[in-house]
């Protein structure tokens, strides 16, 4: 009995330390955030950058953090890192108009201009709807719709009225279909966040090759700040695809993943 009691005491002791450390860490991050924002407000952008980056290094990730980081880099004239952080913010909050606006301004400094290939109406509609809410919101909507389906199912199974059975049957079908759609929206956004397939070019200018070697045929030239999609990888090379459909290989030292 004493041994069991000692084990319980040790567990409670370590839980207390863990909770205290988590509270201290969260409080420390809040202090850093406020300090960085204060530096930004007084136009001391380098100091703000240093603290924002320190917060990122703790593993913190949010659209607001990347948005502020992008603004600070833009103010210091580092457009590449501004675009990178605006894009990272956009991944976490694709529906945010402020991020879109600032990203559009930063992209005006990108030398390489790409005419994106037109997408089919269905894909454009799906992307537009998916980006309307963040992953957590779509997940909550999907769960709510599924719970509603279970309620309708209960009425359908246990009700003796044929009219109620008909109504709950069709409403149940709508609820489960809606739950499936919203779940797919949440999954799509989660995949974008988890599998970062896009990157920003950081080399001032670089030639895209036909194969993953320096002796490969020169295909075309691109400049820093351009957003590209990573489609494959081989050693220190990445196969990339542009929005206009052009493809080729770049050394991975020239790009930074979003």
Tens of pLDDT, residues 131-180: 788 888 899 999 999 999 999 999 998 888 889 999 999 999 999 999 99
With a cut of 50, say whether residue 47 has pLDDT above it: yes
What is the model's pLDDT at position 21? 39
How far CA 4 is from CA of 1, 10, 12, 18, 162, in Å, comes to 5, 10, 12, 21, 59
Q: What is the mean pLDDT of residues 21-29?
A: 51
The residue that leads in pLDDT, 122 or 86, is 86
Q: What is the pLDDT of residue 132?
A: 81
CA 233 to chain centre: 21
Beta-carbon neighbour count of residue 95 at 10 Å? 15
Q: Which of 71, 61, 64, 66 is nearest to 39 (CA)?
A: 71
Phi then psi for 145, rounded to 5 degrees? -65, -35
**Which secondary structure element, helix H or strand E, spans residue 31, and what is its range?**
helix 2-41
Q: What Cα–Cα distance (Å) separates residue 159 from each residue in 4, 150, 164, 171, 175?
A: 52, 14, 7, 15, 18
pLDDT tens, 74-85?
999 999 999 999
**Buried b / exposed e along 171-207 (16+ C-beta atoms within 10 A):** bbeebbebbebbbebbebbeebeeeeebbbbbeeebb
Asked whether the predicted pLDDT for residue 235 surpasses 70, the reply is yes
Q: Please state the rounded mean pLDDT for residues 92-113.
A: 92
Mean pLDDT of 20-31: 56
**Mean pLDDT over residues 96-101, rounded?**
93
Given this model, what pLDDT does residue 119 score?
74
pLDDT for 23: 40
pLDDT over 60 (residue 27) = no
pLDDT at 251 over 80: yes
pLDDT, mean over the chain: 86
Q: Which pLDDT score, from 0 to 100, does residue 9 have? A: 52
Residue 168: CB partners within 8 Å, gap ≥ 6?
152, 153, 155, 156, 159
Instruction: Report pLDDT for 135.
Output: 84
Strands 198-201 and 255-257: antiparallel
Contact between 174 and 181 (Cβ < 8 Å): no
pLDDT at 231: 94
d(CA 44, CA 34): 14
> 187-220, pLDDT tens digit by residue?
888 887 788 899 999 999 999 999 999 999 999 9
Instruction: State residue 12's pLDDT score.
Output: 45
């Amino acid at each position: 009995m004493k041994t069991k009691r000692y084990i319980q005491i040790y567990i409670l002791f370590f839980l207390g330390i863990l909770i205290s450390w988590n509270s201290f860490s969260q409080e420390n991050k809040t202090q850093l955030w406020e300090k960085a924002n204060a530096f930004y407000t007084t136009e001391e952008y380098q100091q703000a950058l240093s603290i924002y980056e320190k917060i990122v290094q703790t593993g913190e990730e949010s659209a607001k953090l990347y948005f502020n980081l992008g603004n600070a880099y833009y103010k210091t004239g580092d457009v590449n890192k501004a675009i990178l952080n605006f894009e990272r913010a956009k991944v976490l909050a694709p529906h945010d108009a402020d991020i879109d606006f600032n990203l559009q301004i930063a992209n005006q400094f990108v030398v390489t201009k790409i005419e994106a290939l037109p997408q089919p109406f269905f894909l454009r509609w799906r992307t537009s709807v998916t980006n309307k809410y963040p992953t957590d919101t779509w997940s909550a909507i999907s769960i709510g719709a599924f719970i509603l389906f279970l309620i309708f199912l209960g009425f359908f199974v246990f009700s003796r009225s044929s009219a109620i059975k008909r109504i709950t049957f069709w409403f149940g079908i709508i609820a489960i279909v809606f739950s499936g759609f919203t779940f797919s929206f949440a999954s799509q956004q989660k995949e974008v966040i988890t599998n970062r397939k896009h990157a920003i070019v950081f080399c001032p200018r670089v030639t895209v090759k036909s194969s993953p070697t320096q002796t490969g045929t020169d295909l075309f030239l691109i400049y820093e700040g351009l957003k590209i999609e990573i489609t494959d990888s081989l050693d220190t090379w990445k196969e990339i695809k542009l929005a206009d459909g052009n493809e080729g290989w770049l050394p991975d030292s020239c790009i930074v993943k979003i």
